[in-house]
Structures are given as structure tokens and as C-alpha cells.
Structure 1
Amino acid sequence: MAFEPPQRLVRALGETPDSAQNADWLGQLPRLAEEALARRGVRAQRVQAPGGRSSLVLLVHYADGTPAALKLAPPRARPDRELAALAHWGGFGSVRVLDTRHHGEDGALLLERLHPEVSLRSLPQAKALLEACGTLRRLWVAPPAGHPFETVTQRTAREAEVLRKAPPEVAALASAALAVREELTALPGEELLLHGNFRQGKVLAGERAPWLTVGPDPMVGERAYDLARLVRDRLEDQVASSAGAAGARRRVNKLADSLEVDRERLRGWTLFRAVESGNRALAAGRRREAELLLEFAAWL
């Protein structure tokens, strides 16, 4: 199958610290895709576009016409961890894995076909948040024994090291984010399996269930960390509204109460994750995105 990886994927992989390794993977992608298709006995229809920032998704079908999706990700994305999380959820609140025989050793996952063009972002904001909370409730379960997942403390420790080197324009917010992280990780907390990258765009319409999540970056930790990314969904709309800081605080409180999460812990993780994302966007040259994230963080 001859194809070009979506430019969104090419750009995103080029912005990471291991861009050389990603470039090598992109160069091998046509061969890797052909081998993964043959190994699983499915045929490609087309590349899903614009696609994601960290993987390629091919819409495929079995010989009998049954639709599916084949996802290929570079080694740095740890597709083995994604497979472990999806297998543990077993399709309850998440996309279902159709083939576990190959255990993601080739960086490919064969998944049920959802409707990639219809995510929670297609719903009005209040309805989208309600459905998002219902999906999260299904995902927050005890992790499997001997799991391969990082903890929130481990993941954010690496991110904190980068934040300590933030440029002067981010320094004050970085200092506040680092302080709140120290406080949040000081004592042992919940140890639940988390999506790790949950937001409205990661919840797609399905056939066997109205809404199913995709694309986890799984880890183990407290619910407030997982919920924090959802707080800033549709960020441009939030920044453009007249509600400002008061609106951001109201959303934190509403989401925390909806899922019985501590309000201050959710506010703290929302602050840390917004500053970390803003600093990363600034380093990658995405200044507009960085400015929005840092403005939002300042409200908290």
C-alpha cells in the first residue's frame, strides 16, 4: 500500500527530543504497515486523516468485510502499555482490542472500528462533559497485578526536571507548578489505572456503545491527575469567554464534585499539567498554544 503519513503526525514527531529516531520510524512505516496488515490478515482501505500526533491509524477490513482499525506507533509511544491497558479494560468504556496474539511487539494494534469523525467535541459543552465523566468512571479500576505502567509520581518527576529549566517568561508559573506537584506527591494516594491523556477528542462514537475512549497513555495514580486534562478542554473557548479565572475555578469545582474528586487536588494537577504543556509547546515553537495554556494556568 502506497501512502503518505499525515502531516500532523510528521510535524508532531519532529518536535520531540528523539526526532531522529522518529524520522527513521517514519521512513520504515510503509514496510511496517504492510507487514502488520499481512500478519493480521486484514486489508487497508485508507489512512485516517488528519489523524493523531503520535501514531498512524489505517482503516482496514477483514476478508468478510468486517471493519477494523490498525494503529501503528513508534517504540517511544510504548504500544505494549496501551495494549495492556486496553486488554485490562476489556472494552468497558474503551475501544476493544481485536487481536492480542501479537501483543503489540511490532508496534501495531488491531482495534474495533469506531467513528473517528465523531468525538465528544461534536456535542454541546455541558453534554460532552457529562459523557466524559461517565466514561472516566468506567476506566478507573485497579491495575492488573505486575502491571508495566509508570506511576503519576514517576511521570511527573521527569516533567518536573524539564520545568526547572523553563525560560524566564515561564519561571513564575513553573515555580508554582513545581511546588504544587511536591505537595501532591508527598503522601501515597490512590493507585488506579488511568487513561493518562483523557480529553473530549479521545472519546469517539461507537456501535456497541455510544462513546468509547481511545489512545490511552496509561499510568497508575489518582483520579485527580486524569481529570485535570479534561478541565482545560476547548481552551480557546474558555479563554475567549468573559468568565476568566472565575469560570476556570467553577469548572474545576463542577468536575471534581461530579466525580467525587478533591477540588484542591484537581486544581493543583490542572495547574501543573497546564504549565508543563505550555512550557513544552513554547519549546516546540507553538507560541499561540503556549500563551493560551499559560494564561489558563495563571487563572488557577
Structure 2
Amino acid sequence: MSSWAESPPGVLEPPERGPEWASFAATLPRLLRDLLDEWDLVPDGPATHGRAALVQPVRTEGDPAVLKIAFPDVAGEHEALALQHWHGGGAVALLRADPRRRALLLERLGPTDLSDHWDLEACEVVAGLYTRLHRPAPPQLRTLPSYVERWTPRLGALPRSAPVPRRLVEQAVALGRDLASDPASRGTMIHGDLHYAHVLAGEREPWLAIAPKPLSGDPHYEVAPLLWHRFDELEGDVRGGVRRRFHATIDAAGLDEDRARDWVVVRMLRLVLRELEDRPGSPDRDRLTTCLAIAKAVQD
């Protein structure tokens, strides 16, 4: 096996990922070799990686595919389960899985995603996928309210000196509590992280979703990532740009405007809380500004 498969480039580099990532990365070369041997896969190009997984192009019985080995985090723990339920309808097809080792053999899609498409057209493409991916949730999935219930009290406990308008904090806490107690906030399997880079061009369908972080949740929760990704493109008209994306998405998906808006506010303030907790004393001010601008824009 060539050296790039034995030592995926750059996986061990990010020190900020901490000891858990370092431990996971250290096991990757052996795990990759084992899976290639056990599943009779032939490497077909260099491995790549993001913040959550290693992806190795392979051939299986001559056909192109990719082997994905994911970091064992909670968010993506049921990726294989979601892909099994979708059966390739609107999402990348799952060919084989070893959930214990977080290994997936997937159909190989093209390199093109929605990042370079006109943002409103891309929002409509994603909205079209919602209608195919949102199905009754299997019982194994964690529920969206279980997450909201955990962090809402922490948001409410932020000091008044925190660099975030108190009215938005109080609004997001109230909305979070209401949404978490609403039965409609669970029961639908949602992708959880569907945005421009998580939709790839395919051969059997024009566009297919990848990398789900599935939850038993509310379809209206899905909209927010389309607003914060590619945010720099909105410079000069942030309010108008956010609102155009928001309305293009909910109109194409047939979502309720008020409920989608409430989830956007809740999700943006959740990102604010994460930034303040992850970087106490030195939060990324640009990130905070982005989150707050989006939460305000959908309400203006």
C-alpha cells in the first residue's frame, strides 16, 4: 500500500482537536489497512480528511466508491442508520457499514457541490432534498429537544456582560423552552447539517446529500446552516441577503415561516453560546457578529 494510505496527510496536524482526536488519528493507518483488506477494496487516489472524517477513494469489484472513517462523536453516531433509511433517495447510497468502527462504504459522487451555485438556486435545491429526507424517525435517534433542553439553561446563565444583546438571549431561551416542549419538535428524521458543501453532484441524481448528523427533530430546524454558510457573500446587504435565502428555502420546502424563524434564532444563539464557552475571554468577534446579524435579519 502506498504511503499516502498509510499516513493520511495532515490528520495529525490540528493540535486544537485535543487528545481524543490525536488518539483517533493514531489508529487510522491500521484501521484503514484493515478495512481495505477485509472489504477487498483497492485504493484509487489519495485520502482526504475534514474535521470529522477520513475519506479514501477506492474501487470495489472495479466500481468506484469511497471509504469513510468518521471520528466517534455523538453528532454523527447514527449516520449509517440514516443512510440505510434513505436507501439512496436524495442522499448518497450506503454500500456497506461497520457502525462499531464508524466505517462506511459509499457510492462515489462528483467533486462538485453547491458552493459555487447562485445561493438562492442552491437554497431551492436543498429545500427540495428536505422533502425527500424528512421521514418518520427511527427510535434509535437522539431527539432534538434533548439537546435544546441541555444548553438552554446555560444560555440563560450568561452574564449580562457577555457580548450579546440580552434581549436576544432571553428571546432564544424562551423560544428554546417552547420548542423543546412541543411534540412537533421530534418524530421526523432530519439531516441536521445540510448546507451547500454537504450536497454533491451525482450521476444517478443531479444532487445528493452527504454527511448527515441525524436527529429525531423538526424539519424547520434545518434552515439555519444555509444562512451562515457563505455568509461573506452577503457583504453589503446582509439583511436582504439573509432574508432572500430564508424565504427561498421555506417557500420551496413549504415550511411555516414563523416556526422556521424561531429555530433560526435558537440555532444562532446556540452558536453564540458555543463560541463563548469554547473561547472564554477571547471569542471570535466576527463569528459572534455573524450569528447575531442572522438572528436579527430574519426578524426585521
Give 1:112's aligned residue: 107
Question: In structure 1, what is the Cα distance between the partners aligned to 2:171 and 2:75?
Answer: 31
**Count of aligned pairs:** 286
Give 1:229's aligned residue: 225
Amino acid at match of 2:149: A
Give 2:294's aligned residue: 296
How big is the shift at 1:185?
2.4
Give 2:116's aligned residue: 122
Cα deviations by residue, 1:248-282 (Å, 9 ceiling, x for unpaired): 33433332222221111111111111222233245
Residue ranges of structure 1 left out of the alignment (5+ in a row): none
Q: Which of residues 65, 68, 74 is equivalent to 2:65?
A: 68
Give 2:169's aligned residue: 174
Cα deviations by residue, 1:157-176 (Å, 9 ceiling, x for unpaired): 23324434546113623333
Question: In structure 1, what is the Cα distance between the partners aligned to 2:175 and 2:199?
Answer: 29
Residue ranges of structure 2 left out of the alignment (5+ in a row): none
Conservation of the 8 A alpha-carbon contact between 1:60 and 1:68? yes
Cα deviations by residue, 1:3-47 (Å, 9 ceiling, x for unpaired): 23546x853x835xxx32222111111112111222211122344
Distance change in 2, residues 1:278/1:58 (3 Å): farther
Aligned-pair identity (%): 30
Q: Does 2:155 correspond to 1:158?
A: no
Question: In structure 2, what is the Cα distance between the partners aligned to 1:184 and 1:250?
Answer: 24
Structure 2 length-normalised TM: 0.85
Question: In structure 2, what is the Cα distance between the partners aligned to 1:79 and 1:182?
Answer: 25
Question: In structure 2, what is the Cα distance between the partners aligned to 1:249 and 1:207?
Answer: 32
Question: In structure 2, what is the Cα distance between the partners aligned to 1:157 and 1:186?
Answer: 9
How big is the shift at 1:65?
2.7
Conservation of the 8 A alpha-carbon contact between 1:114 and 1:206? yes
Q: Which of residues 3, 8, 18 is equivalent to 2:7?
A: 3
Q: Which of residues 107, 130, 134 is equivalent to 1:136?
A: 130
Amino acid at match of 1:106: R
How big is the shift at 1:287?
4.1
Conservation of the 8 A alpha-carbon contact between 1:227 and 1:266? yes
Amino acid at match of 1:86: L
SS at match of 2:65: strand
Give 2:83's aligned residue: 86
Give 1:58's aligned residue: 56
Structure 1 length-normalised TM: 0.85
How big is the shift at 1:79?
5.2
Question: In structure 2, what is the Cα distance between the partners aligned to 1:203 and 1:133?
Answer: 11
SS at match of 2:137: coil
SS at match of 1:58: strand
SS at match of 1:67: strand
SS at match of 2:255: coil
Give 1:43's aligned residue: 42
Question: In structure 2, what is the Cα distance between the partners aligned to 1:171 and 1:34?
Answer: 51
Conservation of the 8 A alpha-carbon contact between 1:47 and 1:56? no
